[in-house]
Amino acid sequence: MKEQTATPIAVALHYDGEHAPHVTAKGMGELAEEMLELARRHGIPLHEDRQLVEVLARLELGDEIPEVLYRVVAEIIAFVYVMEGRLPARYTE
């Protein structure tokens, strides 16, 4: 029996540091794979969480993430910032 694999889904978010992150791109299947490859080529951090991406994929382009997702998305953004060495000024003094 052949194992079924889930259709790839990708959602891109933009965070400007002031407003809630918003959806800038999303896709399924081949488009999702192209988005992921483009992100890899440009060194854009990726985070894999099937449940989160399925929720985010329901949003429209330009929509801010819902308040219920603030904490989980904030934790991901904070992790990426630390990995990139982008710490708030009070932590670098």
In a domain, 64, yes or no: yes
pLDDT reported for residue 6: 85
Number of compact structural domains in the chain? 1
pLDDT reported for residue 13: 96
For 3-29, how does the pLDDT look when each residue is reduced to its tens digit (9 = 90+)? 567 899 999 999 998 999 999 999 999
pLDDT reported for residue 11: 97
Q: Which two tokens stand for residue 70?
A: 């603030």
For 26-37, how does the pLDDT look when each residue is reduced to its tens digit (9 = 90+)? 999 999 999 999
> Backbone phi, then psi, for 45, in 5-degree steps?
-60, 140
For residues 3, 33, 70, 62, the Cα torsion angle rounded to the nearest 10 degrees is: -130
For 37-88, how does the pLDDT look when each residue is reduced to its tens digit (9 = 90+)? 999 999 999 999 999 999 999 999 999 999 999 999 999 999 988 888 887 6
More confident residue, 90 or 92: 90
In a domain, 4, yes or no: no
In a domain, 3, yes or no: no
Per the structure, the complete domain to which residue 66 belongs is given by: 9-92
Q: What is the pTM of this model?
A: 0.83
CATH of the domain at 61: 3.40.1690.10
Are the CB atoms for 27 and 35 separated by under 8 Å? yes
In a domain, 37, yes or no: yes
